[in-house]
Amino acid sequence: MKIKKGDKVKVIAGSYKGTIAEVTKVFPKLEKVIVEGVNVVKKHLKPTQANPDGGIVEKEAPIHVSNVALYDAKAKVASKVKIELDKNGKKVRVFKKTGAQVK
């Protein structure tokens, strides 16, 4: 998976399409990511000793990685990513549209 925690992404599908936000958590085995402020759901909590009132909490649910694309802030465009080797032989992520290196 070419998207990592802390990356800026643009949602390209679903009801949050067009939203640009940061990835807060990545689930590589499930191929899902949690994006800040995207796919917010309400979770009903039962009363417990720690939280005697219970209540309804809003939290972000994971979305599939195919529904987001990395966002290049300099070019202001979302793009696919490819892996290339730099001068030192180290693997780096590169935007396909602009050719710029990620971060």
Nearest Cα neighbor of 8 from 22, 25, 24, 26 is 22
Taking the model in full, what pTM does it have? 0.85
pLDDT tens column, 58-80: 999 999 999 999 999 999 999 99
pLDDT tens column, 15-35: 999 999 999 999 999 999 999
Answer yes or no: is 47 within a domain. yes
User: What CATH number is attached to the domain comprising 24?
Assistant: 2.30.30.30
Q: How many domains does the chain have?
A: 1
| Six-digit token string for 35 | 């994006």
Q: Is 102 exposed, middle or buried (0-12, 13-18, 19+ CB in 10 A)?
A: middle
Answer yes or no: is 98 within a domain. no
